[in-house]
Amino acid sequence: MSHPTGVDQTKPHAAHEVHHEELGFWRKYVFSTDHKVIGIQYSVTGLLFLLFGFTLMMIMRWNLAYPGVPLPLIGGLFGDARMPGGTMLPEFYNELGAMHGTIMVFLGVVPLAVGGFGNFVLPLQIGAPDMAFPKINMASYWCLVLGGLTMLGSFFVPGGAAQSGWTSYAPLSVIAGTGQTWWLVGMIFLITSSLLGALNFLTTTIQLRAKGLTFMRFPFFVWSQFVTSFLLLLAFPPLEAAGVMQLMDRVAGTSFFMPSGLVVSGQVLTNAGGGNAVLWQHLFWFLAHPEVYVLILPAFGIVAEIIANNTRKPLWGYRAMVYSLVFLGFMSFIVWAHHMFMTGMGTAMAAFFQTTTMIISIPSVVILTSLLLSLWGGSIRFNTPMLFATAFLPMFGIGGLTGLPLGLNISDIPLHDTYYVIAHFHYVVAPGTIFGLMAGIYYWYPKATGRRMNETLGKIHFAGTLVCMNVVFMPMFIVGLAGVSRRLFDAGSGYDFAQGTMHWNVVSSWGAWIMALFQIPFIFNFFYSIWNGEKVGANPWDATTIEWAAPSPPPHGNFATPPQAYRGPYEYSVPGAAKDFTPQHEAS
């Protein structure tokens, strides 16, 4: 290992020297402060956790499709405490469910969408040499790792991991086993990671953008990360506060979320009481509704880049999209209680929150419509990133529109906590956000590696995933409308009203398992193309934004000379121009 102290930041004149000292393996690939390495670390970590969370769900889907039937082949691996004889216990199902949600949201999608794409692409797109605070950036990634390890470790504590859902509603979560304490500690690490990341992104965007790159010349992706970072910065601390209070309830015996006289297993609890269980829900959803936008906005950004690039046209209504995005970010702070219509908040509060919820759907529709109209009249190149990006539009559209009945008090009450909610939410996040993220991986892979991913394998991955996603989630609308609760570990096999929907669970489950098979081409392609993909130059997609001015892969410090922006981000097919794209960084 070579000299580990790296860049000597105390020398004011060092700015004029080009540092080329060789960093050792650990400093270069593990404890790196380079935003590109950190971005790739985040992405790979996020993808691994997505796969892990998906695996948890595939195990759950067995018991939903075939309740009470022993899981073949691997059923014996989970031990008698979880699956005696290979048959799933309800406690284990709850464990899987809680951890599936937590891992997918906080360790899968957010690290990939914000940590991964934000870190790798954002500084390049604004022409910056790195993030504003490289060491904080590294700390942010390692906080994520600590949080992830804590979550994984919680599977091995007595009683297993958290079982109270990803929402950890009190008072059940307060009286749950040790796994919940681990969950809370893990969440505090993850929240710290997000906070450090968010303030870094914001500072970088404001301070390190290239000369001439005004805010209205930002690529839409930069805007989406900018608004997302504000949401993370301001919405996560209340959950941290709630996490601290729940930790106090569990460890120090306080009663923030514990009402008086609670009876558990026939025993009256001896805590002081007087707490408020609904307070947890308020604090949780104050984070978790903006969190939904944290999940979707980066995908909007990625899809916008890819659509503009592959239709060879400017985005339709760029300004309207930006204003909608900012408005969406603001509104997302005042809609949270639409998750809580069942708490008996009263009609006045419900009316307020359903009104704000209907209002927030307007900017989402503006963005989606603008993206759709951007396709109009373009000569579209259907490469793999574009296929994922175009599929995003109807898939997110289904997710968004089916959310409207959930945002209205009257229709939410019968639908609350049924499979309908699962279907709605997953249409937004799985074929929505994850399609956006997949598009982004195929699109920026050449920038990270200098090679393109294989198109044939990419198209197999796309087609299989698109079909399977719908096979998984479309039946859940039917199951949900029949009134089956999402919390039932056997999909309601003991209830008469659920009998007519049992076969749909089999369809969903097989959809999920087959979808797993269609990820194999992607995983293979991801690694194979690092060494064997088609070699490409700095700008393989003939794109206009600044990240394509840097070499592929960009060296430490990104650009040989600091780039400058001369025009807006999407100058495609400018009449009279020599080629059909005019990069932002080229002086005319």
Binding track over 516-555 against other proteins, x by CB under 8 A: ----------------------------------------
Task: Give, as ranges, the residues between 78 and 137 that touch other proteins (CB under 8 A).
Answer: 129-134, 136
Q: Which residues contact 435 (CB under 8 A, 6 or more apart)?
A: 299, 388, 389, 391, 392, 395, 465, 466
Q: By C-beta, is 255 or 433 nearer to other proteins?
A: 255
Residue of 276, 343, 369, 493 interacting with other proteins (CB under 8 A): 276
Distance in angstroms (rounded) separating the CA atoms of residues 201 and 291: 17
Residue 250: CB minimum distance to other proteins, A = 11
Cα separation, 27 vs 266, whole angstroms: 57
Please, which of residues 187-216 interact with other proteins by CB under 8 A? 195, 198-200, 202-203, 206-208
Q: What is the dihedral of CA 520, 523, 527, 533, to 10 degrees?
A: 80
The H or E element that residue 507 is part of is: helix 502-532
The interface with other proteins within residues 438-457 (CB under 8 A) comprises: none
24-62: buried (b, 16+ CB within 10 Å) or exposed (e) per residue? eeebbeebbbbbbbbbbbbbebbbebbebbbebbbbbbb
DSSP 60-117: HHHHHHSTTSPPTTTGGGG-TTT-GGGPPPHHHHHHHHHHHHHIIIIIIIHIIIIIII
Task: Determine which residue in the list 233, 345, 408, 516 makes contact with other proteins, applying CB under 8 A.
Answer: 233
Under the criterion CB under 8 A, does residue 240 sit at the interface with other proteins?
yes
Q: How far apart are CB 6 and other proteins at their closest, in Å?
A: 10
Instruction: Tell the smallest beta-carbon distance from residue 209 to other proteins (Å).
Output: 9
Contact with other proteins (CB under 8 A) among 286, 318, 435, 462: 286
- Binding residue (CB under 8 A) for other proteins from 44, 58, 234, 506: 234
- Cα–chain-centroid distance for residue 97? 17
Q: Which is nearer to other proteins, 79 or 214 (CB)?
A: 214
Contacts of 84 (CB under 8 A, 6+ apart): none
Give the Å distances, CA to CA, from 502 to 45, 89, 506.
Answer: 36, 19, 7
The residues in 9-48 that bind other proteins, with binding defined as CB under 8 A, are 9-12, 14-15, 18-19
Residues 6 or more apart whose CB falls under 8 angstroms from that of 171 comprise: 257, 258, 259, 262, 275, 277
Q: How far is the CB of 202 from other proteins (least distance, A)?
A: 6
Look at residues 146, 187, 150, 192 and name the one whose alpha carbon lies nearest to residue 166: 187
Nearest-angstrom CA–CA distance, 494 and 421: 21
CA distance 515 to 509: 10
Is 272 a binding residue for other proteins by CB under 8 A? The answer is: yes
Closest approach of other proteins to the CB of residue 36, in Å: 12
Shortest approach of other proteins to residue 282 CB, angstroms?
Answer: 8
Contact between 368 and 399 under an 8 Å Cβ cutoff? The reply is no
Q: What distance in Å separates the CA atoms of residue 405 and residue 386, rounded to the nearest whole number?
A: 31
Output 14 or 81, the one with its CB closest to other proteins.
14
Among 83, 245, 296, 468, binds other proteins (CB under 8 A): 245
* One of 87, 254, 470, 485 touching other proteins (CB under 8 A): 254
What is the distance between the alpha carbons of residues 447 and 453, in angstroms, rounded to a whole number? 11
Answer yes or no whether residue 473 interacts with other proteins by CB under 8 A.
no
Half-sphere exposure of residue 301, counting CA atoms within 13 Å on the CB side? Answer: 28
**534: enclosing H helix or E strand:** strand 534-535
Judged by CB under 8 A, which of 141, 256, 318, 526 binds other proteins? 256
- Candidate segments 42-50, 154-162, 232-240, 440-448, binder of other proteins by CB under 8 A: 232-240
Q: Which of 241, 269, 401, 478 binds other proteins (CB under 8 A)?
A: 241
Choose the binding region for other proteins from 113-121, 220-228, 233-241, 475-483 (rule: CB under 8 A): 233-241
Residue 2 in contact with other proteins, rule: CB under 8 A: no
Question: What is the SS3 assignment for 264?
Answer: strand
Q: For the CB of residue 422, give the shortest distance to other proteins in the complex, in Å.
A: 28
Binding to other proteins by residue 255, rule CB under 8 A? yes
Using CB under 8 A as the binding rule, whether residue 361 contacts other proteins is answered as: no
Backbone angles phi, psi at 7, to 5 degrees: -75, 125
Cβ of residue 329: shortest distance to other proteins, in angstroms? 14
- Candidates 252, 263, 348, 578: give the one binding other proteins (CB under 8 A): 252
Contact indicator for 190, 144 with CB cutoff of 8 Å: yes
Residues near other proteins (CB under 8 A), total: 53
What three-state secondary structure class fits 464? Answer: helix
Q: Which positions lie near other proteins, rule CB under 8 A?
A: 7, 9-12, 14-15, 18-19, 129-134, 136, 195, 198-200, 202-203, 206-208, 233-238, 240-242, 244-245, 248, 252-256, 271-272, 274-276, 279, 282-283, 286, 556-557
